[in-house]
Each structure stands twice: as C-alpha cells, then as structure tokens.
Amino acid sequence: MVGNDIVDLKEAEKASNWQRPRWLDKLFTISEKQLIHNSENPFVMVWRLWSMKEAAYKLFIQTNPSRFYNPKGFECSISDNSGVIEFKAFKCFVQTKITSNYIISEAHLEHQKLTSEIMKFTTADYNKQSKELKSRLMEFVGRLHHLKKNEFGVPTLYNGREALNVSLTHHGCYGAYAIG
C-alpha cells in the first residue's frame, strides 16, 4: 500500500496564503508550527508537512475506508528526508523529495524508498491532467489492467487475477503515480 502527494510550489504560492490569519492553526499542531517558524524557509516547510499529511491520509483511508478532513490530526515528525506520521493508533513512514519546482511525499506502512513516477503536464485543465496521468500509468502497467476508484476515492488497478494498490496525485502542473 502506498499514498503519495505532490505540491507544485508555484501553484501553492499562487493558490494559498499560508500567512493568512488562523490558516496554520487549522492545519498544524504546535510542534509542527514550531518546525515552520524555526525553518530557514517556512514556505517550503509548510508544503513539506502538508504533502506528508496528505500522503499519510491517502494511505490511512486504504486501511480504514472512510472520508474526512482532518489534516491537523496527522501529526508529523521529521528528520532529513524522512518522516513519521501518527494519527490516533495509525502510524506510517514518509519519504519526501524537495526540488525547486515541487515537493513530493510518499507514505508506506514500513520504511521504504520513494518510488513515485513524476510527470509535468502539458495542460492546465484539471480533468485533462487526470486523464493524462491515468494514461501514463496505464502505459506503464499495460492495457490489460483497468483502474477503478472506490466510493472513498481510493484507486486500485485490476488485471483479472490480482488487485494492485496505487496512488495518484496532481497539483499545478505536476503529477505522479506510485504503485505499492
């Protein structure tokens, strides 16, 4: 099982104002806010922690089918490019890669390397990007597979014999898929 999340830093700068009053308080714990305030680049730390929480949530709902919005509940601790996230009794391990264009995080139940295949879209349209990302994934796994989302929005690949867990993410002009 895998959960991933990509943040396009240009898009994040444009679409969100993390310095808006109460914005950080709604999403981050006290210790996470300390990480942000003590960081050399608070903007990057905000989006690093955000992508970790999103990746962990996507993994969590595979183990506990449900849908909700509680980013603050997913508590992050970090060291180098790794992180641990705890949500109630759930715990997972996250790897993050930070470039000047994007941040990507990938959550697993065990320590694992980052495997996400990252792409830059040719279109800005959300629905077209979704299609582009899916067709890239299908090219990779082969046409015998088909992709289905359950009622909670969790995608799975089926090939008639087995089911493969997969995680898809897109934001701004970047997208990624991971198979786990």
Partner 1 sequence: MKKDELIAKLKTIIAPYIQDEEAFKDLSEDTDFVKDLKINSANLVDIILDIEDEFDIRLENEDMEQMLDVKSAMAIVNSKLEA
Q: For partner 1, give the closer residue by CB, 38 or 66.
A: 66
By CB under 8 A, residue 15 contacts partner 1? yes
Q: According to the binding rule CB under 8 A, does residue 29 interact with partner 1? A: no
Among 91, 126, 128, 144, binds partner 1 (CB under 8 A): 126
Kindly tell me which residue out of 4, 9, 45, 50 binds partner 1, with binding defined by CB under 8 A: 50
Give the C-alpha separation, 170 to 126, whole Å.
Answer: 9
36, 49, 54, 56: which one contacts partner 1 (CB under 8 A)?
54
Q: Is position 72 an interface residue for partner 1 (rule: CB under 8 A)?
A: yes
Q: Candidates 13-21, 30-38, 111-119, 136-144: pick the segment binding partner 1 (CB under 8 A).
A: 13-21
Total site size for partner 1, rule CB under 8 A: 23
Checking 73-76 for CB contacts under 8 A at 24+ apart, the result is: 75/29, 75/31, 75/32, 76/32, 76/35, 76/49, 76/52
- The upper half-sphere exposure of residue 131, i.e. CA atoms within 13 Å in the direction of its Cβ, equals 7
Among 38, 68, 100, 161, interactor with partner 1 by CB under 8 A: 68
Q: What's phi and psi for 146, nearest 5 deg?
A: -130, 150
Q: Which of 128, 2, 131 lies closest to 56 in space, CA to CA?
A: 2
Per the listing, tokens 């295949």 go with 117
Which residue from 142, 86, 120, 155 is spatially nearest to 8, judged by alpha carbons?
120
Least Å distance, CB 159 to partner 1, is: 26
The partner residues of 104 in beta bridges, in order of sequence, read 6, 97
Token pair 């730390």 is at which residue? Answer: 45
Asked if residue 144 binds partner 1 (CB under 8 A), the reply is: no
Subset of 145-174 contacting partner 1 (CB under 8 A): 153, 171
Binding site for partner 1 (CB under 8 A): 7, 12, 15-16, 20-23, 26-27, 50, 54, 67-73, 126-127, 153, 171
